[in-house]
Structure 1
């Protein structure tokens, strides 16, 4: 049986098929990322009656950088068009609007897991766990198609933990053969959850390293070698990736790149695109 994978196109946000759910369901606080406070369930004042952002092309200059680095992984259109059958929160019953606010973050988490599982199935080194990954993907996809009430009651944290066990095993297998992934005593480079905020890692050899959940905020990774590194959950806000090599890095997402800084010399995995705000210099 060939690998069962989810179409990655369905795991990318399609705002034209969504009712602006991220602008309604999610809360944000006035900070460097957002210009004002907004509680969950209250529409952003920049959201128009057509469910489109009125300042979409000026988000950064208006103080909404946080919006520019957000991706729902396709959860918005799934909830809008499938879970609620195309009936939006403005015109539907009040209870439906409440449910949409509850369900959207749940489906977003499930779609993020689908992205990781799909990528894991594409890693040849993870072949020993492909069968388990395939079953996990099918189960997770099935959960996204539950009723609104079932989704609202889902223990998504418990499901994430189950999937994480598989993703950890995938990471171990994928990094095992990467040159430079082991230290002098043969131990794999493990930087999971490490506090590397502002760290000077220019030119660092991080091939095959585990950077799962590492805090790399404002770190200098100029020219660093990150080939085959596990990047799941790494905080790359304002991280300098200029001239860094991320070829083969896995579990790296577009929102992570969008939050970082880079240039024309930054080498990326083929599934991701160079952020428009990155400099063109070398």
Structure 2
């Protein structure tokens, strides 16, 4: 859905201001939260957007606000930006990450509703969507009072149930049973999983940093919260994967033989 995707044209560069980051392999220098990035232009655009990876800002290329930026800018604050309204700047910066979490939940909930296997949960999912959308339309002060962990727990329970219903349709084969045990939250940093049949696997929160996933069958696999930074997806099949985001794909490596869901685009660094 368009309102759950970043629209930088209608945002006041909030991710470039509100969020902090530390100098690392992902960022070229330190930045405190609430401080504009040195690369942010006066028109709220990134001055090095086309060369972020080259300039040492790989972390920026894998961030997704799920449309929270434009929602806070144009709805919550009615188009009043932080430069012209410094008194409300800190509040806006505090509201933004909360809105980001709510929009992320909405993104997953909408995907959950698209699965026919989740039909038994449709009413509960619709209720969760309605409640979450309501929270996104509250006043700034009310948004700051939201108990996000409690709300997320309820949403997460529905997403877990959805995942189990969808993945249940995958029939495990003998080769899968012989492979190393892989499940929710597994530490698979640098793991050699090349060619593995991981259909229907629960990779929620799994650490797949720099893992070798070449030619893996990852269909109907749950990727919610999985860390795919520098994972090699060359030749892998991710068609029909569950709760996968473009940001996760952007953080990984792959090639033209990687099979992505129709709504995803191939990251530019895969084609270099």
Shorter-chain TM band: over 0.9
Deviation at 1:273, TM superposition (A): 1.6
Tell me the TM-score normalised to structure 1 length.
0.93
Partner of 1:261: 253
Structure 2 gaps, min length 5? none
Is 1:169 the counterpart of 2:169? The answer is no
Deviation at 1:28, TM superposition (A): 0.1
> Cα deviation per residue 1:249-270 (whole Å; 9 max; x = unaligned)?
0100010000000111111112
> For residues 275 and 113 of structure 1, what CA distance do their matches in structure 2 show?
24
> Cα deviation per residue 1:141-165 (whole Å; 9 max; x = unaligned)?
1100000001111111111111000
Deviation at 1:190, TM superposition (A): 5.3
CA RMSD of aligned residues (A): 1.5
1:138 to 130, 141, 153: 130
Partner of 2:55: 62
> For residues 154 and 175 of structure 1, what CA distance do their matches in structure 2 show?
32
> Cα deviation per residue 1:177-204 (whole Å; 9 max; x = unaligned)?
113289659xxx7511100000000000
Deviation at 1:45, TM superposition (A): 0.8
Structure 1 gaps, min length 5? 1-7
Partner of 2:65: 72
> For residues 160 and 211 of structure 1, what CA distance do their matches in structure 2 show?
19
Deviation at 1:271, TM superposition (A): 2.2
1:218 to 206, 210, 222: 210
Contact 1:126 1:174 in 2 (8 A): yes
The total of aligned residue pairs comes to: 269
> For residues 190 and 162 of structure 1, what CA distance do their matches in structure 2 show?
25
Alignment of 1:3-42 (within 5 A): 8-42=1-35
Q: Which moved more, 1:13-22 or 1:150-159?
A: 150-159
> Cα deviation per residue 1:32-78 (whole Å; 9 max; x = unaligned)?
00000011101101111111111111111110010011111000000
> For residues 86 and 77 of structure 1, what CA distance do their matches in structure 2 show?
9
> For residues 154 and 231 of structure 1, what CA distance do their matches in structure 2 show?
26
Is 1:246 the counterpart of 2:247? The answer is no
SS class of match (2:50)? helix
> For residues 130 and 174 of structure 1, what CA distance do their matches in structure 2 show?
13
SS class of match (1:230)? coil
Is 1:274 the counterpart of 2:263? The answer is no
